[in-house]
Structure 1
């Protein structure tokens, strides 16, 4: 079978590698040049985009910010999974908020604004501790601003004046004091069958994911069921096929949806070592109409992103249960260069490996690693 992925970064690369044992040929589209390339070495294939779409058995995306004109080409083929509606919803926070409201799914109190002066009304309604998010093209902490007190409102307005808010409105959210962030990665096939991975606990720094711990400690059966019901509601409404990630804020025994990602997701990378079938293989299984794989957990795992850093030896591979996934990119600030998956049979065993890894890498680039390990010991 042939699968075409729009986007040619590390997620397409990991889908390519997951497809090899299944005999699935995965190629990727560089969405900037429209060239069809090998997802691993980025070498272009001798085939045009239209021909690649025609020859593909299934088409998908590695990220939601694919130019809409390309998505429309793929949608017309009848092979795009998930469909264009799901992808565009994940790419636009306003559409996402409308979907959550229509389905009566709890999320952060918020207002959508398309004029800087509307910030005053948002403060009156939501308070003076706010997170302001660009509705499109913002990720990994980009396109976000914070208001901590009303005295700072004039400065925030000044920062936002340069933006075209008619073109890209802002979502203004109340800053919540939640217990933690968790995510649920699952998969749905075209027949409406589901498989779920365990909830993962996510630790962020400057708006960017740094560590995912799975299974998340202290999760009750009721919390798991709450997350799965929300996931099912969203996936069924979107007529979804493939892997979907739903990120939550946990407040006690209640979950609020932060955002959805219509694709394989960074907070699911731990499945590569710790689950019977990883998220990348399950996405391919779903869109190729193959039986969904077992999502049961074999070990506990910490996924640790390597961000904007490459100056280390590989000696940490002597650590028990340490697996390195390197993406082969040039270093850039806040760029995801790769990730570690650390596995253990118990949380204390995992904590030992996490602390050992912390001895090899600088705390400035891995700010949560040692502190989280100590909570598991």
Structure 2
């Protein structure tokens, strides 16, 4: 069986590695030149995109920002999972907001900005603290602007003055005071089987995910059920097939949705070592309409992103429960170069291992790690 993945980055690589034990061949599409490559070493394959689509049993994506023309061709094959509609909702924040509103799923108060004159009213409508996001192509803190006081509005308008808001609208969101960000990753196959990983808690720095801990500490049954109901409402409405990540803010015992990612997700990398079946294997199972694998956690886990850092001490591998994953990329500031998974039997043990890890890493690239270790030690 072959699965064709649009995108040839680290997520396609990890899908490939998950497929090998199951006898599933994963090929990747370079979405810039439409060539077919090996997802691990990027070596070109000889077949054309048209032939690769014909040969594949299922098509999927490793990121939602695939050019629309490519997605339309993939959709025409009848093999694309999740659907064209689901992928586009994840790629376009305007579509995403309208989708959440239609389903009456709580999300941040917002306005869709299609004209610069609308910016004059955002303080009156949303308050002084507002985050503004490009509706297309923004991720990892890119394509975002923050308003922290009404006095900053003229400066913000000047920064946005050259943007074509008719072509790419902005989403202005009220900055909410939340306790933490949680993400729920689950999967649904074509037979309608749905299963969930435990909620993960995410720590960000400058708009990028740095650490995820799963299961999230101090979870209540009410929070878990609320998150799973949101997830189920979304996948049933879309007749969704594949892995989906739902990022949410926790405010007391209430959850509001931040973003949707119609694919395997950074906050689920812990599942490679901390769950019975990884999110990558379950993505392949789902799109091929195989039974979903067990998503329960068999340990407490943390995923630590390696961002903008090209090398780390080999002694990291001596930390108990530590697993290193490099993506084979050229070093660039704010670029995800790899990740480290750490598994433990308890939050206290996980805190000890993260603290040990922090002593071996250049902390300018891991700015929240020591704090996360301390926080887990206090659980």
2:136 paired residue number? 136
Deviation at 1:366, TM superposition (A): 0.6
Deviation at 1:362, TM superposition (A): 2.0
1:294 paired residue number? 294
1:74 paired residue number? 74
Which digits, 9 at most, give the CA deviation of each residue in 1:299-353, with x for residues without a partner? Answer: 1001000000013222110000000011010100110000000010000111111
Deviation at 1:360, TM superposition (A): 1.0
1:355 paired residue number? 355
User: Matched residues in 2 for 1:223 and 1:312: separation?
Assistant: 37
**8 Å CA contact 2:313, 2:361 repeated in 1:** no
Kindly indicate whether residue 116 of structure 2 is the aligned counterpart of residue 111 of structure 1. no
Q: Where do 1:207-246 residues align within 5 Å? A: 207-246=207-246
2:167 paired residue number? 167
1:364 partner SS: helix
1:298 partner SS: coil
Q: Where do 1:324-343 residues align within 5 Å? A: 324-343=324-343
1:189 paired residue number? 189
Uncovered stretches (5+) of structure 2, i.e. residues with no partner: none
Deviation at 1:227, TM superposition (A): 0.1
User: Matched residues in 2 for 1:275 and 1:183: separation?
Assistant: 15
| CA-atom RMSD in angstroms | 0.6
2:346 paired residue number? 346
User: Matched residues in 1 for 2:123 and 2:96: separation?
Assistant: 22
1:187 partner SS: strand
Kindly indicate whether residue 100 of structure 2 is the aligned counterpart of residue 100 of structure 1. yes
User: Matched residues in 1 for 2:94 and 2:122: separation?
Assistant: 15
2:64 partner SS: coil
**8 Å CA contact 2:191, 2:289 repeated in 1:** no
1:5 paired residue number? 5
2:285 paired residue number? 285
Kindly indicate whether residue 196 of structure 2 is the aligned counterpart of residue 204 of structure 1. no
Which digits, 9 at most, give the CA deviation of each residue in 1:22-44, with x for residues without a partner? Answer: 00000000000100000000011
Deviation at 1:14, TM superposition (A): 0.2
1:257 partner SS: strand
Deviation at 1:370, TM superposition (A): 0.9
1:16 partner SS: helix
User: Matched residues in 1 for 2:330 and 2:230: separation?
Assistant: 38
Which digits, 9 at most, give the CA deviation of each residue in 1:208-258, with x for residues without a partner? Answer: 100000000001001000000000001111110000000000000000000
1:28 partner SS: strand
Which digits, 9 at most, give the CA deviation of each residue in 1:46-67, with x for residues without a partner? Answer: 0000000011000000000000
User: Matched residues in 1 for 2:228 and 2:236: separation?
Assistant: 12
Which digits, 9 at most, give the CA deviation of each residue in 1:96-146, with x for residues without a partner? Answer: 000000000000000001122211212111111100000000000000000
1:51 paired residue number? 51
**8 Å CA contact 2:178, 2:249 repeated in 1:** yes
2:365 partner SS: coil
Deviation at 1:69, TM superposition (A): 0.2
1:303 paired residue number? 303
Kindly indicate whether residue 367 of structure 2 is the aligned counterpart of residue 375 of structure 1. no
Kindly indicate whether residue 88 of structure 2 is the aligned counterpart of residue 124 of structure 1. no
1:164 partner SS: coil
2:325 partner SS: strand
User: Matched residues in 1 for 2:228 and 2:204: separation?
Assistant: 23
Which digits, 9 at most, give the CA deviation of each residue in 1:349-372, with x for residues without a partner? Answer: 111110000011122211111111
1:107 partner SS: coil
User: Matched residues in 2 for 1:312 and 1:181: separation?
Assistant: 28
User: Matched residues in 1 for 2:139 and 2:337: separation?
Assistant: 16
Uncovered stretches (5+) of structure 1, i.e. residues with no partner: none
